[in-house]
Chain A
């Protein structure tokens, strides 16, 4: 039947090359064609809703489109619509993100304090630093576990999440909750660290200090992890700079960029934080996933040092300049002006802008910039020319926090053309013809 059809002059004969590709490619169509692989918004790899549409040629990714907005809750709008006072908005700011649940309140309180001219007592600044560094330990361990899971290395996931429980216990001891600590308030903090809590925190820090080398070994000396992460998802330093990557994503590419170093705030000038890059571990920064693991694990060690130093040098005194909430609210209602607050969250820089007007309880303007918002663009160079199987780890390597940033709609077409309806039809016809033969 095949021979009979091939003799028909009206029926085009497919070239022999394409036949061969058909066999070796293992796909219905030839290797040269680009397919779209939609992932999300609900998918098992990332817990949060985001839609990634990959264009793949065979196993290689040639383009990606990111569609966000599934977790958009209109938080800034709720803060600005004159229904809530600033303390209620503080609780709202905490629920921007459950993992960086002290980063947003710290940036927000700083912005409001600058706008309203409120001083923060030194002890309160130290407590804020301690809690935010504890949060960094918990967040980086969480990420390390998720990264191990994306590689299919579930033993390591369970190991890191087991040791992570210790820092959650300490956070619960200090603040009253495992997640969403509600520690900063305008002019200070809500809870003091009592003398009997010091040894508990120190004990946890000793635990992590002893564990850190073990963790570094488990991740960085493991041949499986190295094989799956070395040279995968590379972000060149130049690209990181051009795309304004922040946090560990930028630092893994060798950029010494850290808000705690560049614009010290709260008590951070006392600790002289230096941005960590893979160079500190004796590696040349490549900007791949491996380097991101290095940076995040080293930052756990850095956080331990900062907390120890903070506990040693903790100043005495008040923990808030406004012990009475009605007085604080009255002061905030009279305040007028604008303020900017920033913080180095585990994922990068968080910036809050607030404009207060006298006589109003809520701010006139509240603008939030979350770290994932800056880091999302670095997905594009990272995904280019990678394998489909590497999608989960590359997607996870910027530590995306969709709930923080969900407000934008990004589209960038790769170098490939989008298949038009006519082309799709043509493909369909060709397939029918092949099958009929």
Chain B
């Protein structure tokens, strides 16, 4: 899909659910000049209530599960959830931890998985673009 699919600016909220910071800094790297997604109108916002897309990193610890659910509910529809990183997609190396209740799709519905430990900024951008396709489809239905 080309850039014509960007009918509006896409606002993204980033939730860290116990991640190791690797994916989180790659998300910020995607926003800064080398990759610069802000030129497409994709930007990080400070509250889920303004967001179209949730970027979730981390394997979801026991304490964060309830809060992740709450953030998902606070995000207005239509929304898309992108899981960034291996541990959010499959629990990864943390699969046998007593304090990990994830992966993310056990807690909230997920639309796009971006595997990698951590995924490169290009992969994260690709994941967000795939989420756009889903939002477009939802938008057409309404």
Contacting chain B: which of A64-72, A112-120, A253-261, A294-302? A64-72
Q: Which residue of A lies closest to B68 (CB)?
A: A42
**Residue A30, interface by CB 8 Å:** no
B8-33 interface with A by 8 A CB criterion: 14-26, 28-29, 32-33
> B19 to chain A: which residues have CB within 8 Å?
48, 71, 98, 403
Check if B28 sits within 8 Å of A73, measured CB to CB.
no
A80-94 interface with B by 8 A CB criterion: 81, 83, 91-92
Report the bound CA distance from A42 to B75 in whole Å: 14
Check if B64 sits within 8 Å of A41, measured CB to CB.
yes
**CB-contact partner of A98 in B20, B61, B96, B100, under 8 A:** B20
Check if A78 sits within 8 Å of B117, measured CB to CB.
no
Report the bound CA distance from A27 to B34 in whole Å: 45
Known: A70-B64, A72-B63. A77 touches B97 (CB 8 A): yes
**Residue A274, interface by CB 8 Å:** no
Check if A71 sits within 8 Å of B26, measured CB to CB.
no
**Residue B134, interface by CB 8 Å:** no
Check if B22 sits within 8 Å of A161, measured CB to CB.
no
> B33 to chain A: which residues have CB within 8 Å?
158, 161-162
**CB-contact partner of B20 in A42, A43, A96, A158, under 8 A:** A96
Check if A142 sits within 8 Å of B93, measured CB to CB.
no
Report the bound CA distance from A98 to B116 in whole Å: 13
Known: A48-B16, A158-B32, A165-B29. A99 touches B96 (CB 8 A): no
Return the CB mask of A39-82 against B: 1 if under 8 Å, else 0: 00111100111000000000000000000011111110110010
Report the bound CA distance from A321 to B94 in whole Å: 30
**Residue B130, interface by CB 8 Å:** no
**CB-contact partner of B16 in A71, A74, A77, A142, under 8 A:** A71
Distance (whole angstroms) from the CB of A138 to the closest CB of chain B: 9
> B23 to chain A: which residues have CB within 8 Å?
98
Interface size on A, residues (CB 8 A): 40
Report the bound CA distance from A47 to B27 in whole Å: 11
**CB-contact partner of A42 in B45, B71, B93, B94, under 8 A:** B71
Report the bound CA distance from A387 to B92 in whole Å: 41
**Residue B118, interface by CB 8 Å:** yes
**Residue B115, interface by CB 8 Å:** no
- Report the number of A-B residue pairs with Cβ-Cβ less than 8 Å: 122
Report the bound CA distance from A92 to B92 in whole Å: 10
**CB-contact partner of B21 in A47, A72, A75, under 8 A:** A47
**Residue B139, interface by CB 8 Å:** no
Check if B100 sits within 8 Å of A73, measured CB to CB.
yes
Check if B26 sits within 8 Å of A179, measured CB to CB.
yes
**Residue A97, interface by CB 8 Å:** yes
**CB-contact partner of B96 in A42, A78, A142, A179, under 8 A:** A78
Distance (whole angstroms) from the CB of A405 to the closest CB of chain B: 12
Return the CB mask of B61-96 against A: 1 if under 8 Å, else 0: 101100100010000000000000001000011101
**Residue A157, interface by CB 8 Å:** yes
Check if B22 sits within 8 Å of A98, measured CB to CB.
yes
Distance (whole angstroms) from the CB of B33 to the closest CB of chain A: 4
Known: A95-B93, A161-B33, A180-B117. A74 touches B100 (CB 8 A): yes
Check if B22 sits within 8 Å of A73, measured CB to CB.
no
Q: Which residue of A lies closest to B48 (CB)?
A: A42
Check if B25 sits within 8 Å of A179, measured CB to CB.
yes
Report the bound CA distance from A142 to B87 in whole Å: 23
**CB-contact partner of B25 in A72, A75, A98, under 8 A:** A98
**Residue A101, interface by CB 8 Å:** yes
**Residue A350, interface by CB 8 Å:** no
**Residue A178, interface by CB 8 Å:** yes
Report the bound CA distance from A265 to B96 in whole Å: 33
Check if A99 sits within 8 Å of B34, measured CB to CB.
no
Q: Which residue of A lies closest to B27 (CB)?
A: A47
**Residue A395, interface by CB 8 Å:** no
**Residue A401, interface by CB 8 Å:** yes
> A75 to chain B: which residues have CB within 8 Å?
94, 97
Return the CB mask of A151-176 against B: 1 if under 8 Å, else 0: 00000011001100100100000000
> B17 to chain A: which residues have CB within 8 Å?
49
- A residues touching B (Cβ–Cβ < 8 Å)? 41-44, 47-49, 69-75, 77-78, 81, 83, 91-92, 95-99, 101, 142, 145, 157-158, 161-162, 165, 168, 178-180, 401, 403, 406
For the complex of A and B, list the 3 residue pairs with the smallest distance between their C-beta atoms, beginning with the closest: A98-B22, A44-B46, A161-B32
- B residues touching A (Cβ–Cβ < 8 Å)? 14-26, 28-29, 32-34, 44-47, 58-59, 61, 63-64, 67, 71, 87, 92-94, 96-100, 117-118, 120
Known: A44-B44, A72-B99, A78-B96. 8 other contacts (CB 8 A): A71-B19, A71-B64, A81-B96, A95-B94, A98-B23, A158-B32, A162-B33, A168-B29
